[in-house]
């Protein structure tokens, strides 16, 4: 019943003439407490802020958790791929086809080693800069035109390898900052989404 409901809403959303976008939180599904999956944590926070936290449904067509929301008059598809990071693009591309969205309509939310924890920034297109999830999306969508919300996690110190660092949970000290980081990330994202909508169409 839930899958049928989601499919029905998907058909309705795909048929809308108004502005739409998809926000995909990149990560390793089931490891959302790790630094590498902070994009999925941002999506959970965004869903709560948009009052659709109870709206997540499994959509097997794109192998992802999906919730539908509205922000500033823009219909949003919230997506958390149920795949490993380096295959996230398969879910994003499938959802883009289902909802009739182009690469320019897609936001990718992901971790960024080159930014300190507490720093978030919007990036318009460009290369993956070594991020496997972003590269997967570029390959699957055959485009690099997606907007990215980069959430800083900083780089490891000492002899800690990058792979073990990104796949580890946030430290106790980092956890104390994380709530502020999530709030900042959602605010940055919603401000950019609002800028896409003509003033007269904003909710």
- Establish if 180 belongs to a structural domain: yes
54: its two tokens: 């109870």
Task: Please report the pLDDT score of residue 9 as a whole number.
Answer: 59
Q: Answer whether residue 202 is part of any domain.
A: no
- Provide φ and ψ at 159, rounded to 5°: -90, 5
pTM: predicted TM-score of the whole model, two decimal places: 0.89
In Å, how far are 153, 155, 163, 189 from 112, measured between CA atoms? 6, 9, 13, 16
The verdict on residue 49 lying in a domain is yes
- Amino acid 75: pLDDT: 93
pLDDT for res 106: 97
Which residues are catalytic, by number? 36
Give the SS3 label for residue 150: strand
The residue segments making up the domain with residue 15 are 2-194
Does a structural domain hold residue 6?
Answer: yes
Q: What is the pLDDT of residues 46-89, one digit of tens each?
A: 999 999 999 999 999 999 999 999 998 899 999 999 999 999 99
85 falls within a domain: yes
Residue tagged 């896409």 (tokens): 196
For residue 203, being part of any structural domain is answered with: no
Q: Report how far residue 179's alpha carbon sits from residue 45's, in angstroms, rounded to the nearest whole number.
A: 9
What does the pLDDT profile of the chain (203 residues) look like in tens digits? 455 565 555 555 555 445 699 999 999 998 888 999 999 999 999 999 999 999 999 999 999 999 999 998 899 999 999 999 999 999 999 999 999 999 999 999 999 999 999 999 999 999 998 899 999 999 999 999 999 999 999 999 888 999 999 999 999 999 999 999 999 999 999 999 998 776 655 55
Number of structural domains the chain divides into: 1
Alpha helices in 54-148 (DSSP H): 88-98, 132-141
**In this structure, is residue 36 part of a structural domain?**
yes
pLDDT at 30: 87
CATH number at residue 15: 3.40.50.1470
Within-domain flag for 175? yes
Distance CA 41, CA 45 (A): 6
């Amino acid at each position: 019943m839930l899958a049928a409901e989601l499919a029905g809403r998907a058909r309705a959303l795909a048929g809308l003439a108004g502005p739409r976008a998809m926000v995909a939180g990149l990560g390793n599904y089931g490891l959302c407490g790790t630094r590498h999956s902070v994009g999925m944590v941002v999506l959970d926070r965004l869903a709560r802020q948009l009052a659709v936290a109870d709206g997540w449904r499994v959509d097997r067509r794109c192998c992802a958790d999906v919730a539908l929301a509205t922000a500033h008059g823009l219909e949003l598809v919230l997506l958390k791929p149920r795949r490993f990071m380096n295959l996230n693009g398969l879910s994003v591309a499938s959802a883009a086809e289902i909802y009739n969205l182009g690469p320019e309509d897609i936001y990718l939310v992901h971790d960024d080693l080159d930014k300190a924890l507490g720093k978030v920034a919007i990036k318009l297109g460009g290369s993956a800069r070594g991020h496997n999830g972003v590269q997967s999306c570029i390959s699957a969508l055959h485009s690099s035109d997606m907007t990215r919300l980069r959430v800083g996690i900083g780089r490891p110190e000492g002899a800690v390898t990058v792979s073990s660092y990104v796949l580890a949970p946030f430290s106790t000290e980092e956890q104390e900052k994380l709530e502020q980081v999530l709030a900042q990330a959602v605010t940055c994202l919603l401000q950019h989404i609002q800028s896409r909508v003509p003033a007269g169409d904003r909710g």
